[in-house]
Chains A and B, each alone.
Chain A
């Protein structure tokens, strides 16, 4: 028998007899503590976010908004949550019962896991972002995990989050939820491509997928929003809003057409789980945007002893700005039509993100090879323009032939 196999078997014996000691080790307990902290943090921030959204939207519409429960109505979400908790839990007759019950969790769990990679604080200017406020040489980062695949975890989890929406609509066994879920998944799959392409530009400059290293590269250089020339950020913001199914991309729950979209048949606790997942995703998306494009916890550090706390402050302030922007979108922009949504995703955002990525990579290759930077940019822009003209010609031809065939068919 091979030595390695023997080692494996020994370890297996140890594991069978002593597996429970794993849970007593400090690392596991600490990780559990972090997970619980982030979970509670997300729940509280969802509660505040719902209140914030209602309050800001009502301000923008000259209304008062929630003002009864607690000071400035801040406990309104809690009251609504308790109400939802005690409502009757209905399961439609035509529902696929197992999947119907599974879907809210499939929506919630990825929403929660996504936040694990966001560094919510830490001093990246004077230190490497890790903090040490317990004992000895126990350094840790203010994020649950910092895996080498980093931001790809975010993409993977937002990919899995689609299942919650899709299966909820299908399992309800009713027409409008199914329409809503088909729309939702088509939209999310389409915009994920644009999201990934604008992320590629971030990876190009920071040279890493890890969120901590992306933040570090921005602290050492300039914030990615400036360094990448604004467009990747704008594309990410638009695609992210679409990925969240928030207005102006909320065709999924277009109430005039689809009743409530995928969650029409849900009530009580299961509905509140969808609601929770949706708002958790909003908070996470704001955190991810801040991390990737606005330096995360980067900002002036006034006292070096509590540097991580300053980082936390800057992170929260920036996140609140983006939460406000999401609410602002909702209060001011009318909903897109379905074909406009698909056109924007496939014919504008994806080609543009790809072209901009090629431009950025041409610049970085020119930097390494020592080419003339202006000539490189000029050639890259010329190629970019030629590609755009070809694309527009293709779109025009397609539209013309479609119109012709429609005229032939319908006269």
Chain B
């Protein structure tokens, strides 16, 4: 039991320093690393309360897949340079962030003070939905596929829709892309096809011509 408390405290420190690091780190990649630390610490906290499956999934899905994708985006889009924290990107963002943070803190304190949360792990030997005493992981599976099956299926459909949506958005429409229309108002600022981009304009025109031929045949 006391080893449990020890693990809880160590993981708590890991989670807190990690989450502070996410906010304070100036470099996006460092922030992502601190995010992994936080997620890993949360996984250990799940283990402390005997939620083994949840802990494993936390690491596999969040640390092993989602943050990897974050890092991909950071590395491939080349935003991996330190940011100037003195510039506020959206006006009024910081006061609003403080208000939001205080609201979440109040909500958490209210929940902790209510009778629901005692800090004591649940009874893992309690019978599951079918009245059978099963290991933790099996109980979770039973609950998902009996009581929560509707929510489970709906989540599955939602994910499928998301995948199909991503494929549709990434799909290239047949035929070459049309050149952007030449807007006189912005071409003065160097956006449109001005003198020095003539070669590009020709290439676009040739491509458009090829496109028409392709359509005819």
Contact = CB atoms under 8 A, between A and B. Distances in A.
A156 B214 contact: no
Contact of B119 (A5, A163, A404): A5
Interface string A195-212: 000000000000111000
A148 B57 contact: no
Contacts of B75: 170, 178, 182
B118 A149 contact: no
B14 interface: no
A11 B57 CA distance: 30
A148 B52 contact: yes
A4 to B, nearest CB: 4
Contacts of A153: 56
A48 interface: no
A385 to B, nearest CB: 22
B211 A159 contact: no
A169 to B, nearest CB: 9
Main DSSP-derived SS at the A contact region: helix
Interface size class of B (residues with CB under 8 A): 35 or more
B118 A2 contact: yes
Interface residues of A, number: 47
Contacts of A167: 29, 33, 71
A408 B176 CA distance: 7
A408 B211 contact: yes
B63 A409 contact: no
Contact of A189 (B27, B65, B80, B210): B65
Contact of A411 (B30, B53, B210): B210
Contacts of A303: none
Contacts of B11: none
Contacts of B1: 11
B6 A22 contact: yes
Interface string B89-129: 00000000000000000000000000100111000000000
A98 B25 CA distance: 13
Interface string A133-165: 000000000000001110011011011101100
Contacts of B120: 4, 7-8
A15 B6 contact: yes
B78 to A, nearest CB: 11
Interface in B29-85: 29-30, 33, 36, 40, 43, 52-53, 55-57, 59-60, 63-65, 68, 71-72, 75-76, 80
Contacts of A411: 210
A53 interface: no
A99 B55 CA distance: 26
Nearest to B115: A2
A22 B10 CA distance: 14
Given A149-B53, A156-B56, A99 B33 contact: yes
Given A185-B68, A409-B176, A152 B3 contact: no
B176 A149 contact: no
A22 B27 CA distance: 39
B5 interface: yes
A155 B72 CA distance: 20
A383 B211 CA distance: 40
B175 interface: yes
A302 interface: no
Contacts of B137: 148-149, 208-209
Interface in A83-120: 96, 98-99, 102
Nearest to A186: B72
A374 interface: no
Contacts of B6: 15, 19, 22
Contacts of A408: 175-176, 207, 210-211, 214
Interface of A: 2, 4-5, 7-8, 11-12, 14-15, 19, 22, 28, 96, 98-99, 102, 147-149, 152-153, 155-156, 158-160, 162-163, 166-167, 170, 178, 182, 185-186, 189, 192, 207-209, 401, 404-405, 407-409, 411
Closest 5 CB pairs of A and B: A159-B64, A152-B56, A156-B59, A4-B118, A149-B56
29 contacts: A2-B115, A11-B5, A12-B5, A15-B2, A19-B2, A96-B29, A98-B30, A99-B29, A148-B53, A149-B56, A152-B53, A152-B56, A156-B43, A156-B59, A156-B63, A158-B64, A159-B65, A160-B36, A160-B59, A162-B68, A170-B29, A182-B75, A185-B72, A186-B72, A208-B138, A401-B174, A404-B214, A408-B175, A408-B210
